[in-house]
Amino acid sequence: MEVTEKLDTKNRPDEWLIEQGMAGHKLPILDQSGEETVHRYPSDPAPITQDRAAIEAIGDRDELFARERAGWVGYVEWENYPDKKAKAHKILTSQTFPSSPDYQFGPIPGTNPVLSGDDFKAWHAAIGGELTRAADDSWRIVLQEKHPDMLHLLQFPYNGEPPKRLTTAQPITPNPLHFVRNHGGIPLIDKDQYELQLDGLVRNPKTYTLDELMDESRFPRMEKTVTMQCSGTRRIEQINLYSGQGDEVPQAPWAEGAIGTARYVGISMKKLIKDGGGLVDGAKHLELYGAETYIKDLHAMNYVVSVPWSKVKANEVMLAWEMNGEPLPKIHGYPLRVVVFGYIGARSVKWLYRIKAIPTPSLAPVQSREYLYWNQQIGKYNLRPIDGIQIQEMPVSSAIMTPWQNQVIIHNGSIKCKGWAYSGGGRWPERVELSADGGFNWYAVKEENLSKKGKWTWRTWETEIPCDAEGWIELVVRTWDNALNTEPIGIRQTWNWGLHVTSSAHRVKVYSVNKTREQTRKRLAQFEEMGIPLAPITKYEVVSGLSDEELHAYWKAHPRDVDD
Ligand SMILES: Nc1nc2c(c(=O)[nH]1)N[C@H]1C(S)=C(S)[C@@H](COP(=O)(O)O)O[C@H]1N2
Ligand SMILES: [Mo]
């Protein structure tokens, strides 16, 4: 039948989806603060505008935003030049840009890269000069250095993680599979022209070449196996429960792969500070500068955070040039990066070009306005950066990498699982526990099924968990670290507007098909015999569980109704 008449309706075609909360980005906000309820609808995207005269008046962008140093492709210095910062800001505010699509309330794109980062690309192009090619260079390096099976969550700035099957395949993550979290482009630095500046409140400010840093007669070598974890790891679970917003838009919808473990070689930052004559005048923190451009709130800046001197003094902050026996890959900070043991990845600055001793934690936006852990009463319409805890050490957390969400598992009474467990701050997983009943009964993973303990590393694990049930169950993992910290059971308890630190017990719902049950075994055999595919489980198949004769005989023997 052909439908010719137009439906006479006020509904949108997707009214049902909208009613059911599957298109939250289209829902009006109900404003009940006045006498009458007002529906506040999302506005259509504003037309793109550009004040060309204002932009041209700023001057020659190639000159203004030129490469800071020979041999440092993609490096524009911002922190030393407030005037230059103001000019870039003026350019970015003299026009408007397409806003990044909402993927939290709306559907998440089924593409790889998942998100493109069009806003970041447009800002870089608008500033121009040395940043003109940043997005293209970045993607080229991704294709050169990363494994072809990486899941690209955000094309630019590049954010990517390995697929689950490869994340925990080995306790040490091969370099091409180590996750990457960038805030901007990838500077391409010639190691012979590399220099590290040490200044601020140190007795003897100095600069060092790479050869000087590698000179073992001056700085003893340091080698360490370290797990790096982004505070956004497993954010997707928070998004799936309640939409929120990260620090900046678009945020990568990280899953369980934003964690990786590598053997780093370099020197202790403490030795460098000592070489500079030590700290003076109440210096207590080291501000760390990364060479790429980060654009936040239409301000251009370098990537700047800080670590406390107490952490450096404990020899827990390293300047590394080697990762798993190779020179640091470009995408991971070549030629020199910071590795802060047991802190969130954000403090481990890549493409490090400056260390500045300062009295307080850095006021730079990445340190003081991002990577904040907010209380649940804090959200878009009331947040202030001082309401969040600056995230440093990660709490204990773990993840199930096999099986996956919604997977159907045919088994003989126990389910095989694999995953990782990690704790920050120099604590380590002592016991990993799994539950197959949503978190009521817990079974410990045997010590021999956990990878080796390390003060600064995760432990990968595999186990079999007893399961008697047929049907949907929830597999849950939680870990106890050596300080007996463990994970909250539900996501709701740790959910936060910034979508950081998803440390609740990881839950994976799977459908258990238990072959130790006779009926299940028989029916599976019947499917096999008839050559009917078992997947997907939701597809209706005409496979009778009982013949008409058997059905009849049963009801004769067990009548449904009773008279007395
Ligand atoms: N210069 C610079 N350093 C940086 C970042 C960055 O964007 N720029 N990202 C940080 C964040 S948030 C994380 S999680 C780690 C990730 O390190 P990786 O990309 O080598 O895995 O690098 C940190 N260091
Ligand atoms: Mo991160």
For 24-56, write each residue's pLDDT tens digit: 788 899 999 999 999 999 888 889 999 999 999
Q: Per residue in 185-225, pLDDT tens? A: 999 999 999 999 999 999 999 999 999 999 999 999 999 99
Angle between helices 82-93 and 118-127 (to 10 degrees): 120
Answer for the pair 380, 245: CB distance below 8 angstroms, yes or no.
yes
Any residues with CB less than 8 A from the CB of 227 and at least 6 apart, and which?
259, 260, 261, 422, 456, 457, 458
Mean pLDDT across the stretch 16-22?
A: 89
Bridge partner residues of 299 (DSSP)? 296
Compute the distance between CA of residue 124 and CA of residue 233 in angstroms, rounded to an integer.
Answer: 27
Which helix (DSSP H) or strand (DSSP E) does residue 368 occupy? helix 365-368
Minimum-distance ligand 1 atom for the alpha carbon of 302: 1
What lines the ligand 1 site, CB under 6 Å?
A: 178-183, 228, 230, 290, 292, 303, 332, 345-346, 348-351
**Tens of pLDDT along 537-554?**
999 999 888 999 999 999
* Residue of 367, 333, 327, 373 lying closest to 350 (CA atoms): 333
Q: Cα–Cα distance between 253 and 154 in angstroms, integer?
A: 9
CATH number assigned to the domain covering 397-514 = 2.60.40.650
Q: With residue 259 as reference, give the H or E element that holds it.
A: strand 259-268
> Taking the chain, what is the end-to-end CA distance rounded to the nearest angstrom?
53
Q: Where are the alpha helices (DSSP H) in 232-324?
A: 235-241, 269-275, 309-313
In the beta sheet, which residues pair with residue 222? 266
**DSSP state string for 345-357:** GGGS-SSEEEEEE
Residue of 350, 371, 500 to mutate, ligand 1, most atoms within 8 A of C-beta: 350
Distance 500 CA to ligand 2 centre (A): 9
CA separation (Å) from 370 to 213, 235, 266, 297, 390? 31, 15, 28, 12, 8
Assess contact for 119 and 156: CB atoms under 8 A. Answer: no
Sequential DSSP letters for 388-442: EEEP-BPPPEEEEEES-TT-EEEESSEEEEEEEEE-STT--EEEEEEESSSSSS-
Tell me what pLDDT residue 26 has: 84
Q: Residue 389: which pLDDT band, with cuts at 50, 70 and 90?
A: very high
Reduce the secondary structure of 61-86 to three states and give it as a string. HHHHCCCCCCCEECCCCCCCCHHHHH
pLDDT tens-place string over residues 486-524 = 999 999 999 999 999 999 999 999 999 999 999 999 999
User: If DSSP codes are grouped into helix, strand and coil, which group holds residue 10?
Assistant: coil
Segments of the chain assigned to CATH 2.60.40.650? 397-514
Angle between helical axes of 118-127 and 134-145 (0-180°, round to 10): 130
Measured distance CA(24)–CA(22) in Å, rounded: 6
- DSSP assignment of 167-225 equals HTSSSSPPGGGS-EE-SS---EE-GGG-EEEEEESBSS-EEEEHHHHT-TTTS--EEEE
Q: Give CATH 3.90.420.10 domain extents, the chain.
A: 52-373+385-390
Alpha helices per DSSP H over 491-540: 518-529
Look at the block and give the residue holding tokens 């980060």.
294
Cα torsion angle, 246, 293, 135, 230, sign: negative
Does the domain at 52-373+385-390 match CATH 3.40.50.300? Answer given as: no
- Measured CA to CA, the distance from residue 90 to residue 301 in angstroms comes to 14
Cα 527 to middle of ligand 1, angstroms: 50
Pocket test for ligand 1, best of 72, 142, 230, 328 (most atoms within 8 A of CB): 230
**What integer pLDDT is reported at residue 102 of this predicted model?**
79
All residues at 6 or more sequence positions from 344 whose CB lies less than 8 Å from its CB, including other chains? 229, 230, 231, 371, 391, 392, 393, 394, 424
Question: 90-135: per-residue pLDDT in tens?
Answer: 999 999 998 877 788 878 889 999 999 999 999 999 999 999 999 9
The CA 331 to ligand 2 mean position distance, Å, reads 14
